């Protein structure tokens, strides 16, 4: 999604802004630009494509200033192009703006501006109207003009503006799009996200909806909707900029895959007291709140939704409350049964996913209690929830989510265990057994990394397959969806996941020797007629007898599967309930190496963005 960076200090704004934009590359973008107030006018330079293109046209040392704004754009209105790139100027380029979000009534405003003021538009974007609105209201006070412009705007926006006549000031506003101000020494920053500023500073102010911010080199002043000054606590961030770097790995995705043991430990240990009991520090749900619940919705998108599928299994098993999992873009339009006995769990790495956020608001308005599982501290989902259960994955840069998923799973277990104990549906003995299983996971994930070479070999061998199916039963089915998404989003191979028992109702028609099936069969806890493992063995035979090649994914000790599969991947032995945390790791690594073999842009796959802040 679009990224915004603004800097105001004494000099070298260009360098700071470009550095910030580089840090925001992970959000996905198709063009980039920068605007600086130079010699009484605003100079805007922008270019379609990678940041390198922009860097070439701003290399000139005379193009620099003490303040400025920059942007990476992810097209929504108007194709990716130089003119549609941000910043946008008003008629005489005395004002420039960068914008993240969508101005819903931009066509109306465009018509009004061209009829009333003869404004001629240069771009096809919705954003350009903001520069012109500020331009027509500007009488020497940028803050005042921004406030007036906002009155005309409908939609979602984070906007930063500069004016040629006030070259030492940035004015910004936010409504339903992320914005954070950064507190420097003799300089200040504003950006869509904390990593954009981490190289220079560690202290931040979150900006809330409908607030405006005025930044000079010495001050950051936040105003609420009524124009009153707001006092905000400083947010101290302990990550350093290196945490967002690759640390020797070829790609962020591989680095983040390898960070999973640490992320799992952190997420787990921060929620355990000295006696090993789950504590929900900072979460205000009382025993009564938990006891009165009669329905739980888990709502999320993409990978986070897949974490919800596993969450449903574990919560229903331990808490004995019906759980529905829904993709946020469906939930928000289906008028679900929600009341004050409903718990709504939003899962989101970024905490800025528009569909998830809107679903949350919908559920909140109907009286549900909102608990979110979020990675980005201070994000919109976190701020609008009653309670937040943070994942401690650290910044996730690769578009393909890996460590966010496994830490989301850990949160699902902890929430289920806590609620199960509170409602008396989980015995202390089962609680302790499960906790032991969870604590053993980081070490077991490390063991899986020893199979990386084999997974790279399998990736090389099967990289040319045009169709890859992922099948599984029970909790394995949820992981199959995630494995399939991982593969398709970075390798661009057509891939499809299905509950293995569903195969015979249609999809089996596609099985032939050209197809590869990845069969997850980790659920071997139950023996006998109901054993999911035995059912999976039958499913594997069903597809191999039609010529499909099979890679089976099983626990150590299930070597028999070698007789019916082309290849077998093993994960360490563990309880069935926690197997999803382990079984997803080989699938992530396989997807990574397939994409690498095919020479794809692994960290920034085509058409995708890290944080999807549009509907």
Sign of CA dihedral 245, 247, 252, 255: negative
Residue from 113, 119, 197, 304 touching ligand AGP (CB under 6 A): that is 304
Q: Is 90 in the site for ligand AGP (CB under 6 A)?
A: no
Q: Is 611 in the site for ligand AGP (CB under 6 A)?
A: yes
- Assess contact for 8 and 216: CB atoms under 8 A: yes
Q: Is 206 in the site for ligand AGP (CB under 6 A)?
A: no
Nearest distance in Å: CB 447, ligand AGP: 24
- Assess contact for 191 and 4: CB atoms under 8 A: yes
Residue from 123, 265, 349, 407 touching ligand AGP (CB under 6 A): that is 349
Query: Which of the residues 2, 160, 411, 574 is marked catalytic?
Result: 2
For 600, the token pair is 């794809």
Nearest distance in Å: CB 270, ligand AGP: 20
Distances (CA, A) of 501 to 208, 479, 529, 532, 583: 47, 15, 15, 10, 19
Helices (H), 450-578: 452-462, 475-491, 532-544
Q: Is 613 in the site for ligand AGP (CB under 6 A)?
A: no
Q: Is 548 in the site for ligand AGP (CB under 6 A)?
A: no
Give the end-to-end CA distance of the chain in Å, rounded to a whole number. Answer: 12
Residue from 211, 489, 576, 603 touching ligand AGP (CB under 6 A): that is 489
User: Which of 258, 163, 160, 150 has the alpha carbon at shortest distance from 213?
Assistant: 160
Residue from 206, 342, 359, 401 touching ligand AGP (CB under 6 A): that is 401
Nearest distance in Å: CB 216, ligand AGP: 33
Nearest distance in Å: CB 510, ligand AGP: 24
Nearest distance in Å: CB 580, ligand AGP: 16
Alpha-carbon distance 351 to 376, whole Å?
6
Sign of CA dihedral 234, 238, 240, 246: negative
Helices (H), 293-353: 302-319, 328-331
Residue from 188, 356, 359, 522 touching ligand AGP (CB under 6 A): that is 356
Residue from 133, 163, 290, 400 touching ligand AGP (CB under 6 A): that is 400
Alpha-carbon distance 461 to 588, whole Å?
16
Based on CB atoms, which residue is closest to ligand AGP, 32 or 304? 304
Based on CB atoms, which residue is closest to ligand AGP, 284 or 607? 607
Q: Is 303 in the site for ligand AGP (CB under 6 A)?
A: yes
Please indicate whether residue 301 is annotated as part of the active site. Answer: no
Q: Is 301 in the site for ligand AGP (CB under 6 A)?
A: yes
Based on CB atoms, which residue is closest to ligand AGP, 149 or 612? 612
Nearest distance in Å: CB 497, ligand AGP: 13
Based on CB atoms, which residue is closest to ligand AGP, 90 or 348? 348
Please indicate whether residue 2 is annotated as part of the active site. Answer: yes
Alpha-carbon distance 214 to 217, whole Å?
10
Q: Is 406 in the site for ligand AGP (CB under 6 A)?
A: no
Helices (H), 46-127: 51-57, 106-117
**Quick one: how far is CA 98 from the chain centroid?**
22
- Assess contact for 517 and 550: CB atoms under 8 A: yes
SS3 assignment, position 380:
helix
342 half-sphere exposure, CB direction, 13 A CA radius:
21
Residue from 72, 348, 372, 565 touching ligand AGP (CB under 6 A): that is 348
Residues forming the active site? 2, 610
Residues that bind ligand AGP (CB under 6 A): 301-304, 348-350, 353, 356, 399-401, 489, 611-612
């Amino acid at each position: 999604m679009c990224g915004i960076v603004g800097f105001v200090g004494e000099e070298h704004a260009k360098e700071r802004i470009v550095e910030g934009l580089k840090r925001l590359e992970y959000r996905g973008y198709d063009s980039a630009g920068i605007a600086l107030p130079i010699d009484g006018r605003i100079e805007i330079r922008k270019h379609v494509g990678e940041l390198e293109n922009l860097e070439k046209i701003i290399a000139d040392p005379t193009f620099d200033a003490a303040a400025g704004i920059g942007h990476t754009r992810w097209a929504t209105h108007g194709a990716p192009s130089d003119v549609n790139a941000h910043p946008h100027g008003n008629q005489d380029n005395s004002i420039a703006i960068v914008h993240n979000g969508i101005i819903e009534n931009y066509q109306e405003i465009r018509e009004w501006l061209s009829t009333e003021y003869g404004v001629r538009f240069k771009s096809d974007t919705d954003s350009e109207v903001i520069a012109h609105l500020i331009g027509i209201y500007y009488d020497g006070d940028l803050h005042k003009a921004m406030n007036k412009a906002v009155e005309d705007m409908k939609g979602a926006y984070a906007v930063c503006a500069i004016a040629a006549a006030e070259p030492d000031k940035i004015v910004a506003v936010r409504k339903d799009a992320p914005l954070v101000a950064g507190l420097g020494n003799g300089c200040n920053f504003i950006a869509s996200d904390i990593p954009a500023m981490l190289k220079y500073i560690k202290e931040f102010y979150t900006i809330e909806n409908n607030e405006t911010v005025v930044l000079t080199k010495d001050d950051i002043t936040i105003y609420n909707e009524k124009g009153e000054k707001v006092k905000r606590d400083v947010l101290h961030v302990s990550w350093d900029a290196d945490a967002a770097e690759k640390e020797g790995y070829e790609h962020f995705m591989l680095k983040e895959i390898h960070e999973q043991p640490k992320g799992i430990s952190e997420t787990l240990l921060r929620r355990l007291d000295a006696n090993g009991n789950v504590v929900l520090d900072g979460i205000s749900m009382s025993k009564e709140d938990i006891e009165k619940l009669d329905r739980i919705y888990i709502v999320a998108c993409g990978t986070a939704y897949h974490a919800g599928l596993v969450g449903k299994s574990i919560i229903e098993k331990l808490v004995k409350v019906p759980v529905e999992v829904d993709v946020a873009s469906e939930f928000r339009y289906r008028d679900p049964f929600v009341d004050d006995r409903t718990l709504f769990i939003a899962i989101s790495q970024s905490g800025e996913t528009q569909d998830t956020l809107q679903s949350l608001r919908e559920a909140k308005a109907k009286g549900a209690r909102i608990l979110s599982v979020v990675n980005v501290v201070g994000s919109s989902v976190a701020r609008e929830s009653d309670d937040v259960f943070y994942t401690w994955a650290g910044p996730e840069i690769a578009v393909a989510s890996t460590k966010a998923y496994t830490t989301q799973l850990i949160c699902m277990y902890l929430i289920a265990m806590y609620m199960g104990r509170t409602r008396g549906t989980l015995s202390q003995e089962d609680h302790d057994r499960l906790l032991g299983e969870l604590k053993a996971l980081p070490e077991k994930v490390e063991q899986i990394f020893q199979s990386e070479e084999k997974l790279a070999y399998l990736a090389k061998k099967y990289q040319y397959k045009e169709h890859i199916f992922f099948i599984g039963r029970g909790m394995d089915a949820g992981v199959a969806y995630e494995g399939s998404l991982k593969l398709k989003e970075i390798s661009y191979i057509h891939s499809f996941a299905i509950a293995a028992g569903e195969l015979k109702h249609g999809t089996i028609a596609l099985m032939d020797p050209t197809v590869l099936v990845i069969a997850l069969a980790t659920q071997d806890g139950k023996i006998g007629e109901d054993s999911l493992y035995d059912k999976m063995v039958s499913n594997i035979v069903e597809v191999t007898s039609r010529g499909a090649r099979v890679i089976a994914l099983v626990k150590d000790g299930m070597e028999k599967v070698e007789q019916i599969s082309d290849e077998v991947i093993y994960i360490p032995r563990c309880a069935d309930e926690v197997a999803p945390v382990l079984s997803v790791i080989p699938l992530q690594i396989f997807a990574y190496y397939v994409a690498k073999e095919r020479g794809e842009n692994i960290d920034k796959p085509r058409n995708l963005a890290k944080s999807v802040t549009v509907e």
